Chain A
Amino acid sequence: MAQGLSKNHRQLDLAEAIAKRWHWKVNVSCDTALSQCYVECDRNQLLELCRWLIDDMDYALGSLIVEETNENWLLRYVFYGEPDSEAVHLGLRLDKAEKTTVPSISPIIHAADWQEREAWDLFGLRFEGHPRLIDIVRHEAWPAEIYPMRKNFDGSQPGPHPPVERPFQPYHVVQAPGAFLMPIGPVFSDAAESALFLLESVGEDVIRIWPRFFYKFRGVEKIAEGQAVDRVLLLAERFSGTSSFAHSLAFCQAVEAICRVDLPSRAQALRIVFAELERFRHHVAAIAGICNSTALAVATSQAGILEEEALRLSGTLTGHRYLFGLNKPGGVTLDLNDRQCEDLSSGVQAIFLKLARLYDLLRYSSSFLDRLEEVGMVTKDQARNYGLVGPIARASGLARDLRQVLPYALYSEISFEVPQEEEGDGYARLRLLFREAEQSAKILQKILSFLPPGEIAAREVALKPGAALGWAEAPRGATFHWVRLDEQGRVRRYHLTTPSFTNWHGFHFAAEDFAYQDFPIIMASFGLSNAECDR
C-alpha cells in the first residue's frame, strides 16, 4: 500500500510539473489504475513536450496511435520511462476539415520515424518535417491515393489492383561509382520469413542496409475493426505465433482495462507461468538460430533438441505447442494441477540445465565467438535514440523491461533480475538470451511453487465502450496494444506496436559496414520476427 501511495505522489508530481511548465495551458489527467498520465496538447506544444520527456525525463517513445473519428484525427503518443513511473500519453486532436498535416517528431525522437511513416502510409497523414516520409507498408501494387486504414476503405474486399504498378524506387544513399543494391529476398533461401533486404554496397563490404517489410502484411488492425472481442483475440494471438501468449496477454489486458475487470490472482500467476514459458522457449529457439547461422552443426542440433523439448513440454501441459488459446479477457482458459506444476517445473529445470551446459561449451569455442564478437554492434546511444526494446536494447546496456517499468499481472510481487550487457554486439545478445532464459526458468520455479489458489478467470467480463492501452514484455521486447471498443462491445480500433517493428528500425546500425558473410549472423543475433513486424 505504501508503494501505491508513493506512486500516487509521483504521478501528481509529474502532472503538476507538466502543468506548471506549460503554464496550465495543457490538460493533464492521471489515472493510477492504468498507471498513465494523459496530456492533451496542441500541435505547437507537441515538440516541446516530446523533447522534455525524452531529454529531461529520460522517457522513451512506446507507440504512436492514430484514430479517426468523423471530425477529427486523434493522435496519441505513448511514452514510458524508468521502473515504476507511469506512462505518459500525449494526445493531439486535429481537425479533419483542415489540412491533414501533423508536426513530425522524428527529427527529435528518431524512434518515431517508422511509426510516422506507417501512419502516413496507412492513413495518409502527412508528417511535416519528416526527412524521409516514404512508403513503408504499401508496396508498388497499391494505388498511391488509397489509404487502407481510413474508415472509408472497405477492408473486407480484395485489395485494389491498378493495371499499372507504381515503379519501384528503392531508397539509396551511396553516391560512388559502381554502387549497387544487392537484393536478398523476399523469398529467402531457407525457411526464413519473407522480407526484402537491399544491401547497398560497392562490393565486398555492405555500407548500408535498406530492409523492406510488410510482405506479410495481413492488415490485422484493419480486419479487427468491427469484430467481436473474442475474434480479435484470435488475431492477437495468431499474428505472431512465436510470441503468441505475450500478444494475447497485452490484448486481454487492454480489454480488461476498458472493462475494469479485476482478475483472480491465480489467473494472473498462470499468465506469468505461460508468459515465462513462452519467453524461455523463444530464447532457446533464438539461441538455436544463432548457432545455425554460424554453421556450428552440433550446437545447432543440441539447441534444436532443447527447443523441441520445450515445445513438447508446452504441448503436453497446455495442449498447444505454441501456447495458443490460453488467454481470454478476464483470465486464462486452462488450469494447472499440482502434478502439472511439478512436471512443468522439473521439465523447464531439466532443459535449463542442458542449456547451461551448451552455453559453457559455446563460451569456449573460439571459432564460434570469433564470428559473434564485435559483429552487429548497436551502441547504447543508438539503442536509446531509436527506442529499441527487449533483449537487443538490454544487450546494449539499456535495461528497460515493461515487467518492471509498468508491472502487470503479478510481476510487481515477484523479484527477478533484468539482465543487462554492455557491449551491444552479437555475443552480448547471445549471452543476454542465456541469462534471460535463466531468469525465466527461475521465475517459473518460484511462481509454480506457490501458485495462489482460486479461480482462473473472472466470473464475468461485461464489455463496455472505451479505449485502453495494454502492454506486455513479449519475448522480443515491449509490445503495446491499443484497443477501442464501441457500444456493441465490438472493436472499433486496434493498434499494435510490436517489438519487431521497433527493433527492425534499428537493424541497420548492426548491419553497417559489414561483410556479406556476416549478414545471416547479424540477422540471427537480432532474432526478430517479420510476422510480428508486418502484422
Chain B
Amino acid sequence: MIDPKRLFFLFLILCGAGVVLAALLPRRANRVVLAWIGSLSSLTILWVGGAVLLSGQAWQVDLWNIWSLGPMVLKMDRLSALFVFIAGLVFLPVSIFSASYMNLPKYVKRYGFKSFGIYYHLLLAAIVLLLVAGDMLSFLLAWEAMSIFSYLLVNYEHEKEDTTKAGYLMLSLGEAGTIAVVLAFFLLARTATGLDFPALRAAAAGMGQASAWAIFLLSFFGFGVKAGLVPTNIWLPLAHPAAPSNVSAILSGVILNLGLYGIVRFNADLLPVKDIGAGAIVLIVGSISALVGILYAVIRNDMKEMLAHSSIENIGIITAGLGAGFIFRIAGLPALAGIAFIAAFYHLLNHSLYKALLFLGAGAVDYSAGERNMDRLGGLIRVMPWTSLFFLVGALSIAALPPFNGFVSEWLTLQTMLRSVELSSMGIKIIFALCAAALALTAALAVTCFVKAFAMSFLGLARSPKASKAVEVNRSMQAPMAILALCCLLFGILPTYVIPVLDNTIATFTHEHMVDELVPPFFTAPQGNARFPQEFVSEFHDLGAQVGRTFLPGQGLVVMHRGTEHNPVVYAMSTSYTFVVLILLMGGSLILFRVLTRSRKVDRGPVWAGGVRQLLPKMTYTATGFSNPVRVIFEAVFRPVIFDEMRETVAEHFLIAVKSQRQEVYILERTMFSPLARLGRWLAALLGKIHSGSVNLYAAYILISLGIVLIIQRLM
C-alpha cells in the first residue's frame, strides 16, 4: 500500500511536470503530454481520494507557520477525498479527450496548444489543493488560483468577443463571490485562535446568532456564485458555450462542485447552521435554481447552453437536498438529515459524471459536425453510432430514468423531501411541499429536455449540410465517453455500494452513521439486526432481496427506508435487480423474437411518412418546435422583450414572408441585475450630490458612519 500522502506529492510533481513540458515541448508532443500527464495525475488523485474515502484515514501535512496566522495545513478527510475523487473521475477522461479534441482547426490555428496545457495542469493542481486546504489562508489562495486558471481556460478563445465578455462576467462575479467568502472567513476568524480549520471550528462554537447569520449569508452567497445558484448564475450559461467542450466538462463536472464543497465545509462542518431559516433559504434557493435551470434548458437549442442551464438545475437539486439536510438536522431528525445529505452527495457525484459525459458528447458532435445548434443537427445516430450511444446513456441518466445513476439520487432526494411531513413547523412543511412540487416539475421537464436533446440531434433527418457530413469521432474521443457512460451505469445499478461510502463521508460533519437507514443488511445479517428485526428481513427475503448473496459482498442490493411502526417501509427499490430484470426481459424477448421469427423472412420497409413523395429535412420537427409548448406555457417566465411577427405581402394577400423576431433576457438578468445596475447608477448620481466638497459635511459623514459601525459591533 502506497502512502497516499506520498502519492499526493507525486501528483503535485506530475502537475508541475505537465506545466513545464507543456511550456517547452513542440505542439505535436504537447497533446501526448496532456493526455498522459493529465490522465496519470488524475489517476493519482483518484487513488489518493479513493484510499481515504474507503479507509477513512485522513492525512495531514503541516506546511509552515506564517507569523501569527497559525500553521498552513493540507489535510484530506473523507469530505475532501470525495471531491478529490470526483475531480479525478472527471479529469481522467477529459484529459484523454482533450488530446484529440483540441486538435480542432479553430483552436489549433489561432490559439496554439501551449497555454492550454499550462493552464490545464495548473487548474488541476489548484483544484486539488483547494480541496485539501486545511486552513483559511491556503484555502483562499487555492480558491483564487482556481478562479483565475478556470477563467483563463474558459477564455481560451480570447479573440472572440463573446468569449471575452463571458469570461469577464465569470471573473467579476467570481471575484464578488470571493470577497464575500473572505469576509465570511474574517468574521469567523475574528475570535479564533488560529486560522486552521479546527481553530475556526472551535471559534464557531461560541458564535452569536447575528454573526452566524452574517457568515451564513456571506458564505452561501460567495460559494453560490461558483456553484451557479440563483441569482448569481448568470455567468454560467454564457461561460459554457464560450469555453471549449472539455473545459465545459470540467467546469460543470468539477468547478461547480467546489462551490458546493465550500457551502458544505462552511455551513455543515465549520459552522453548522443552527437556524431553521437558513436551511429554508438553502432549500428554496436550490429549488428555484432547479426550476429556472430546467426551464431555460428546455428551450435552449445550443447544446452547450442547454447543458449549462441543466447544470444550474442539477446544482439546484443538490442544494435543495443539502437544505433539506440542514433543516432535518436542526429539527432534530438526524436520520432524515443523513439521508438528505447522502442523496445530495450522490446527486453531486452523478451530476459530475453524466454532465461531463454530455459535454464530451456535445464536444464530439461539435468536433465532427461543426454545429451545436440542435435545430441544424439531426440524424447523427447513423453516422456517429457510438457517440450517440454514449450521449443517450448520459441523457437517460440526467433524465433520471432507471437503471442509470441519476434515477437513484433524484429519487432519494424527492423521497426525502416527502418525509418533511415529520417536521413540526407548519411553515417549513409548506415550504417543503412547494419545493418538492418544484423539483417534481423539474424532473418532468428534464425528461422533455433530454428527449429533445437526443432526438433532435441524433434522430430524424440531418437538417443542415454540416450535420449530414458528420463522421464518427476517433477512439481516443470515444473511450473517455465510454468510461463515463460505464460509470453512469455502475453508479446507477450499485447504489448499495455507493451509499455506505457516502454515509462515511457525511459522518465527517454529522458524526452519525445512517447507512442502516438506507441499506438494510440483507446479505450480512440475514437474521436481522436491531433496526431490522428477523420477521421483517425474512419477509423481504421471500421477495427475493437475497438474490446475489452468495457471490456478492456488501450489505444487499436494496435501498430502503425503514420508517415507523405504522409504516414499516417508507420506500424501497433496487436498481440492481431492476437492471437484471431489464436485461432478462430485453434479452429474453429478443431471444423469443428470434426463435419465433427464425423461419420467417423479416421485411424492412422504409419510414412511413404519410406517403409524401420526397420527405425533406424541412418537414421534420425542429428543436425549437419541440420545446415551443413549454415556452408557451411558461411565457411568463421567459417574457420576451421583443416579440414581433412581421408579415410581408404583395398585392394585399400574397403572403411572401413572415419574419418573427424574438429576444429574451435571462430571467435573472431581467429581474435582478438590470434593476441592480439601475440602482447602481442612481446611487452613483446620489453620491455625486453628497460630495459637496464641504469639510464639515465630510466630518458629519465620518461621525455617522462611526456610529453605524459601533451599533453593528454591539449587535454582533
Contacts and interface: CB of A to CB of B under 8 A. Distances in A.
Contact flag (A, B; Cβ within 8 A) = yes
Interface of A: 106-108, 110, 113, 131-132, 139-141, 165, 167-168, 170, 172-188, 194, 196, 198, 201-205, 207-208, 385-386
B160 interface: no
B208 interface: no
Given A177-B375, A203-B625, A203-B629, A185 B611 contact: yes
B161 interface: no
Nearest to A186: B611
Interface stretch (B268-276, B574-582, B612-620): B612-620
B628 interface: yes
Interface residue SS majority, chain B: mixed
Interface in B416-462: none
15 contacts: A108-B651, A131-B651, A131-B654, A174-B660, A175-B659, A177-B375, A180-B621, A180-B622, A187-B611, A198-B619, A202-B628, A203-B629, A204-B625, A205-B632, A207-B658
Interface string B591-619: 00000000000000000011111111011
Contacts of B662: 176
Contacts of A204: 625, 628-629, 631-632
B336 interface: no
Given A180-B625, A203-B627, A204-B632, A187 B653 contact: no
A203 to B, nearest CB: 3
Of all A-B residue pairs in the complex, the 6 with the closest CB atoms, nearest first, are: A178-B624, A203-B628, A203-B625, A107-B651, A187-B611, A176-B660
A176 B622 contact: no
A131 B650 contact: yes
B703 to A, nearest CB: 60
Contacts of B657: 173-175
A203 B626 contact: yes
B1 interface: no
B625 A201 contact: yes
A178 B378 CA distance: 13
B655 interface: yes
A180 B611 contact: no
Contacts of A207: 658
Interface centre among B626, B627, B653, B660 (most CB of A within 10 A): B653
Nearest to A188: B610
Nearest to B616: A168
A385 to B, nearest CB: 6
Nearest to B375: A178
A141 B656 CA distance: 26
A205 B659 CA distance: 15
Given A174-B658, A187-B611, A203-B625, A106 B618 contact: no
B542 interface: no
A180 B613 contact: no
Contact of A182 (B621, B629, B650, B659): B621
A196 B618 contact: no
Contacts of B618: 170, 172, 180-181
Contact of A165 (B613, B651, B653): B613
A108 B656 CA distance: 17
Given A131-B654, A202-B628, 14 more contacts: A107-B652, A131-B651, A168-B614, A172-B618, A173-B656, A175-B660, A177-B375, A181-B616, A194-B611, A196-B612, A202-B624, A203-B626, A208-B655, A208-B658
A157 B75 CA distance: 92
Contacts of A141: 613
B656 A181 contact: no
Contacts of B650: 107, 131
B105 to A, nearest CB: 26
Nearest to A201: B625
B651 A140 contact: no
B613 A140 contact: yes
Interface centre among A180, A205, A208, by most chain B C-beta atoms within 10 angstroms, is A180
A262 B662 CA distance: 67
Contacts of B625: 178, 180, 201-204
A386 B613 CA distance: 30
B614 A140 contact: yes
B308 interface: no
B462 to A, nearest CB: 14
Contacts of A196: 610, 612
